[in-house]
Amino acid sequence: MSAPVRLGLAGFGTVGQGLAAILAQSADWVARRLGRPVAVTAVAVRDPAKQRAVPLPAGARVVADPLELAHAPDVDIVVELMGGLGKAHELIRASLENGRHVVTANKHLLAERGAELFALAASKGAGLYYEASVCGGIPVVQTLKESLAGNRIQAVTGILNGTSNFILSRMTKKGLSYGTALKKAQKKGFAEADPTLDVGGFDAAHKLALLIRLAYGVHFPLEKLPVTGITAVTPLDIAYAKEFGCEVKLIGQAKMVDGRIMAGVHPMLLSKSYLLAQVQGAFNAVRVVGDAVGAVMLYGQGAGGLPTGSAVLADIMALARDGAAPNNTGFPEKTLPLADILPAEESCGRRYFRFTVEDKPGVLASIAQALGDVGVSIHQVVQKVDPDASDESIVPIVFMTHTASQSQVDQALARIREFPYVKAEPVHMRVL
Ligand code: NAP
Ligand code: HSE
Q: What is the pLDDT of residues 43-88, one digit of tens each?
A: 999 999 999 999 999 999 999 899 999 999 999 999 999 999 999 9
What is the value of pTM for the model shown? 0.96
Domain with 277 in it: what CATH number? 3.30.360.10
Q: Taking 90 as the threshold, does the pLDDT of residue 333 lie above it?
A: yes
Q: Cα(208) to centroid of ligand 2, in Å?
A: 13
DSSP 248: E
Q: Which of 134, 163, 308 is the pocket-test mutation for ligand 2 (most atoms within 8 Å of CB)?
A: 163
132 and 145 both lie in a single domain: no
117 and 262 both lie in a single domain: no
Q: Cα(60) to centroid of ligand 2, in Å?
A: 29
Burial of 29 (0-12, 13-18, 19+ CB in 10 A): exposed
Q: Distance between CA atoms of 416 and 411, rounded to whole angstroms?
A: 9
How large is the greatest C-alpha to C-alpha distance in the chain, in angstroms? 84
Q: Distance between CA atoms of 329 and 335, rounded to whole angstroms?
A: 10
Q: 3-state class of 11 per DSSP?
A: coil
163 and 104 both lie in a single domain: no
If you take atom 7 of ligand 2, which residue's CA is the nearest one?
A: 303
Q: Distance between CA atoms of 387 and 256, rounded to whole angstroms?
A: 44
145 and 78 both lie in a single domain: no
174 and 249 both lie in a single domain: yes
How does residue 26 score in pLDDT terms, banded at 50, 70 and 90?
Answer: very high
3-state secondary structure 52-83: CCCCCCCCCEEECCHHHHHCCCCCCEEEECCC
Owning domain of residue 107: 5-137+307-320
Query: How confident is the model over 386-425, as pLDDT tens digits?
Result: 777 778 889 999 999 999 999 999 999 999 999 999 999 9
Check if 303 has its Cβ closer than 6 Å to any atom of ligand 2.
yes
Query: How confident is the model over 150-192, as pLDDT tens digits?
Result: 999 999 999 999 999 999 999 999 999 999 999 999 888 777 7
Q: Where are the alpha helices (DSSP H) in 47-157?
A: 86-97, 107-124, 140-142
196 and 293 both lie in a single domain: yes
Q: Taking 80 as the threshold, does the pLDDT of residue 193 lie above it?
A: no
In 3D space, the residue among 269, 246, 232, 240 whose CA is nearest the CA of residue 396 turns out to be 240
What ligand 2 atom has the least distance to the C-alpha of 135? 8
Q: Quick one: CA torsion of 239, 234, 232, 424, rounded to 10 degrees?
A: 90
Give strand ranges (E) for 258-315: 260-271, 283-290, 294-301
